[in-house]
Structure 1
Amino acid sequence: MPLKVYKPTSPGRRGMTGASFEEITKTKPEKSLLRPLKKKAGRSNQGRITVRHRGGGAKRMYR
């Protein structure tokens, strides 16, 4: 399994490596295993936005 080498964007990240799972995973996950993940950024138990500037972002899925 190849290693993923990170660029030194901070002192703690310098020399950091991690496992690359490219050869054991598909490019896209199996569609039958995916469920939509509801956005809840800055919302109360009533679903109303209570904290500002927390919108947008990419659509996320739960697998």
Structure 2
Amino acid sequence: MALKSYKPTTPGQRGLVLIDRSELWKGRPVKTLTEGLTKKGGRNNTGRITMRRQGGGAKRLYRIVD
């Protein structure tokens, strides 16, 4: 991964340096190196809702990095 430096077209972009992620893998992760990430949904150990406006959303995978 290389670093990309930008010309200051605005004052906020002066000194802007970002990582070039174009060389990273764009496919799906290897299935043996992933596991499900369990969500709490705002519930405690008894299963009762203890925090409002939590829950739902998309199923997520946790990547195991060895």
| Shorter-chain TM-score above 0.5 | yes
Count of matched residue positions in the alignment of Structure 1 and Structure 2: 54
Give the unaligned 5+ runs of structure 1: 6-13
Partner of 1:50: 50
8 Å contact kept, 2:36–2:61: yes
Answer with 16-25 or 46-55: which moved more. Answer: 16-25
Separation in structure 1 between the aligned mates of residue 17 and residue 62 of structure 2, nearest angstrom: 26
Please, what TM-score do these two structures have when normalized by structure 2? 0.57
Percent sequence identity over aligned pairs: 46
- Give the RMSD, CA atoms, in angstroms: 2.4
- TM superposition score normalised by structure 1: 0.59
- Give every structure 1 segment of 4 or more consecutive aligned residues whose post-TM-superposition deviation is greater than 4 Å: none
More strand by share: 2
Of structures 1 and 2, the larger Rg is shown by 2
